[in-house]
Amino acid sequence: MQDIAGCRVIVGDVLKQDEVVKCLTKAFADTSVVDRRVTPSYGYRAVHVIVYKHSIPVEVQVRTELEHSWAQLSEKLSDVVGPSVKYGGGPEQLKSKLLRLSEIVGKAEAVESRLLAMESPADHRKLTNQAAAQFVEAKQQLKDLLNEMIEQGVLWQDA
């Protein structure tokens, strides 16, 4: 852990996330960006920006709502099941479900990002429809998996 202070910003989608990261790197002279959307850490997705205030490193965690939901769930399960859950350990079924959830979040956000970045959807109707269908599919997969986890509460309760 390199920071001694931190803060957390939660935004609606990946484009807003990119904007916040851009603002932070502009506002502070010395920053380093760790994009955990590209290389998730045991499923954890977010962008961390380390900024320096009076030479003190401050970690700013910039998360989308979806990434934040996943992170909170993973942190809570690390509390009640065991700290290894946060680092890719814990009961096998739970571990695979968390990783699968994270993959779906990544998939949904990749499509969402493409959709939001389209400037003139009318010119890209086919592509838009395709991406929208993929996004709906990813969100449905996410819902199905979350519902499955709710129904199989035993995964963490009896661990």
Partner 1 sequence: MLFLIQYDRRGGRIVRLERFTDDQRLVAGKARLDLEIELQRRGQNHEVVVLEAASEEALRKTHGRYFDDVEHLLAAALAV
Contact set with partner 1 (CB under 8 A): 8, 10, 65-66, 68-70, 72-73, 75-77, 79-80, 142-143, 146-147, 149-150, 153, 156
Alpha carbons 79 and 120: distance in angstroms, whole number:
46
Nearer to partner 1, 13 or 124 (CB): 13
CB of 124 to partner 1, least distance (A): 26
CB of 96 to partner 1, least distance (A): 16
CB of 133 to partner 1, least distance (A): 19
CB of 125 to partner 1, least distance (A): 27
Nearer to partner 1, 75 or 123 (CB): 75
Give residues with Cβ within 8 angstroms of 30, minimum separation 6: 51, 52
Edge to edge, the sheet with strand 5-11 lists: 5-11, 56-64, 47-53, 31-35
Nearer to partner 1, 80 or 127 (CB): 80
**In sequence order, what are the beta bridge partners of 64?**
11
Nearer to partner 1, 30 or 75 (CB): 75
**In sequence order, what are the beta bridge partners of 57?**
52
Using the CB atoms, write b or e for 5-39: b if 16+ within 10 Å.
eeeebbbebbebbbebbeebeeeeeebeeebbbee
